[in-house]
């Protein structure tokens, strides 16, 4: 192995280990490196989450499928909305929900399209025996938007 | 100081055959091609900037990309680059393109609210192979160029060693994060039970195994302690081969359980496990080295 190649290899190894160690110690993320903090916080038996409900001609329907708002999956979408919620800017949340209606409707036949979308904070008290299909024990509406009505 | 340098060189720079690293290239890029074939990022062009929270080098962009056709072309180029990297055709350019486009296409979704920690390692692997000499054997380029086989070299050892190390450190980091953010309380039965039950509502797991196991306190306790112990064992496993086998088997089972209980699929990590397969092992490499020396 030539000396220059050896130096390059050493630099790559050292840089990779340094960034990994930095993220590992500090908990920071330098993607594609990272501290891999998934599921690392303490969880409570009082679960709070965000859930979407579509407004259709047939009433309100729960939307929790991973493809309901593709390309978003539920986990990414909820974290994104939590971030917007934390910013306290209601206009931005409304703008985001209108975008979600578009993302949903472009994949649906006309009859199944949403007329509106509601974002709720939902909660459950976790206990053994739950199956995941139980309705929320409480919910609070955060925002509600309606799709613009198509012209004649 | 000298012994540290010797240990360093022994760990990263032992002699290996070109075929040894070439097999890694074929397996890694072949698997990445298969895993990412369904990837389609064009939908992100329809997402409004209100969701845009760029990470890493994406902060340099003025905003989210809006051209679906351009993303479509980049995707096709990326998948072709993965395939041509696997077969070793126009190898250096293919692997560089695979790594660069991979950075963009795998990183783009992470800029919309949350980083999913599935794609970081595969990208690092692509980057490592792109700067390595992994196409010096078992490649179309090599067949076209002809000539004598390359002799064993330290050049063919460090890329795989680094990839294996970074893969195991992924899990070590996950274990450290749990202790840093949750402390020892993370390893209680109550915490594990709340994770298993909570995911039934926040994700769509394919089974109700989490609900079933959450009914047994001792299983929750075992799961919590075993998870952290396994993840932290990834660090010593870098140095002890027997522990490495146990740790990798345990981590694989852990990720399978996460898939069926929590509905989180670490499919891209399969390529990381493949790096430790016995047929990429040192014995095989020794045979290759002997074959190369004897022509």
Q: Using CB atoms, pick whichever of A17, A23, A128 lies closest to residue B173.
A: A23
Cα–Cα separations (whole angstroms), residue B283 to B21, B132, B146, B242, B288: 13, 22, 27, 16, 9
Q: Using CB atoms, pick whichever of B154, B169, B195 lies closest to residue A43.
A: B195
Decide if B117 and A16 are in contact by the 8 Å CB cutoff.
no
Q: How far is B87 from chain A (nearest CA, A)?
A: 24
Does A41 contact chain B (CB < 8 Å)? Answer: yes
Q: How far is B180 from chain A (nearest CA, A)?
A: 8
CA distance B132 to B13: 13
Nearest CA in chain B to A22: B173
Question: Tell me: the pLDDT tens digits for A46-96?
Answer: 999 999 999 998 889 999 888 899 999 999 999 999 999 998 889 999 999
Residue B30 has pLDDT above 90, yes or no: yes
8 A C-beta contact, residue A112 and residue A144: no
Cβ within 8 Å of B, A 73-102: 74-81, 83-84, 92, 95-96, 99, 102
8 A C-beta contact, residue A84 and residue A96: yes
* B29-43 mean pLDDT: 97
Nearest CA in chain A to B155: A1
Listed in sequence order, the residues at least 6 apart from A107 whose beta carbon sits closer than 8 Å to its beta carbon are: A67, A70
Length of chain A: 152
* B112: chain A residues, CB-CB within 8 Å: 72, 76, 80
Q: How far is A114 from chain B (nearest CA, A)?
A: 17
Does A33 contact chain B (CB < 8 Å)? Answer: yes
At residue B2, the pLDDT reads 79
CA distance A142 to A50: 9
Longest CA pairwise span in chain A (Å) = 75
At residue A150, the pLDDT reads 59
3-state secondary structure of B37: coil
CA distance B238 to A69: 41
ipTM, interface predicted TM-score of the complex = 0.91
* B237-259 mean pLDDT: 95
Residue B289 has pLDDT above 80, yes or no: no
Residue A4 has pLDDT above 90, yes or no: no
Does A49 contact chain B (CB < 8 Å)? Answer: yes
Question: Tell me: the pLDDT tens digits for A86-142?
Answer: 988 899 999 999 999 999 999 888 878 899 999 999 999 999 999 988 999 999 999
Q: Which two tokens stand for residue B254?
A: 């852990």
Mean pLDDT, chain A, integer: 91
DSSP string, B140-208: HHHHHH--SPPPPBGGGTHHHHHHHHHHHHHHHHHHHHHHHHHGGGGGSHHHHHHHHHHHHHHS--SSS
Question: Tell me: the pLDDT tens digits for B121-177?
Answer: 999 999 999 999 999 999 999 999 887 888 889 999 999 999 999 999 999 999 999
Q: CA angle, corner A85, sides to A81 and A86, nearest 5? A: 120
């Amino acid at each position: 192995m030539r000396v220059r190649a050896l130096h390059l290899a050493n630099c790559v190894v050292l840089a990779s280990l340094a960034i990994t160690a930095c993220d590992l110690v500090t908990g920071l993320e330098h993607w594609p490196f990272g501290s891999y903090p998934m599921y690392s916080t303490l969880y409570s038996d009082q679960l709070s989450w965000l859930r979407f409900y579509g407004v259709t001609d047939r009433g309100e329907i729960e939307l929790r499928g991973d493809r309901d708002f593709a390309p978003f999956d539920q986990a990414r979408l909820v974290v994104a909305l939590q971030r917007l919620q934390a910013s306290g800017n209601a206009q931005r949340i409304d703008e985001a929900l209108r975008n979600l209606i578009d993302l949903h409707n472009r994949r649906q036949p006309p009859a199944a399209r949403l007329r509106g979308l509601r974002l709720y904070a939902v909660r459950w008290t976790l206990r053994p025996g739950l199956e995941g299909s139980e309705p929320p024990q409480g919910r609070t509406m955060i925002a509600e938007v309606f799709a613009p009505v198509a012209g004649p | 100081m000298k012994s540290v340098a010797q240990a360093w060189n022994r760990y990263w720079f032992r002699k290996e055959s070109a075929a040894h690293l070439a097999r890694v290239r074929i397996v890694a890029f072949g698997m990445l091609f298969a895993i990412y074939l369904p990837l389609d990022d064009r939908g992100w062009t329809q997402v409004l900037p209100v969701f845009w929270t760029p990470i890493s080098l994406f902060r340099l962009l003025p905003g989210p990309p809006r051209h679906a056709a351009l993303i479509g072309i980049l995707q096709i180029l990326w998948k072709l680059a993965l395939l041509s990297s696997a077969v070793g055709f126009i190898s250096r350019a293919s692997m560089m393109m695979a790594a660069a486009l991979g950075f963009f296409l795998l990183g783009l979704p992470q800029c919309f609210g949350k980083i999913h920690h599935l794609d970081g390692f595969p990208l690092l692997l692509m980057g490592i192979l792109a700067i390595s000499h992994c196409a010096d054997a078992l490649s179309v380029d090599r067949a076209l160029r002809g000539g004598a086989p390359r002799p064993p070299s330290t050049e063919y050892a460090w890329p795989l060693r680094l990839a294996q190390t970074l893969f195991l450190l992924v899990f070590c980091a996950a274990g450290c994060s749990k202790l840093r953010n949750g402390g020892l309380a993370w390893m209680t039965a109550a915490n594990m039970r709340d994770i298993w039950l909570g995911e039934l509502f926040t994700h769509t797991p394919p089974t109700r195994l989490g609900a079933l196991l959450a009914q047994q306190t001792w299983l929750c306790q075992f799961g919590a302690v075993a998870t952290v112990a396994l993840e932290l064992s990834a660090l010593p496993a870098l140095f002890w081969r027997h522990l490495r086998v146990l740790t990798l088997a345990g981590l694989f089972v852990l990720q399978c359980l996460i898939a069926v209980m929590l509905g989180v699929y670490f499919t891209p990590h399969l390529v990381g496990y493949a790096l430790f397969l016995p047929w990429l092992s040192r014995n095989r490499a020794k045979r290759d080295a002997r074959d190369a020396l004897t022509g």
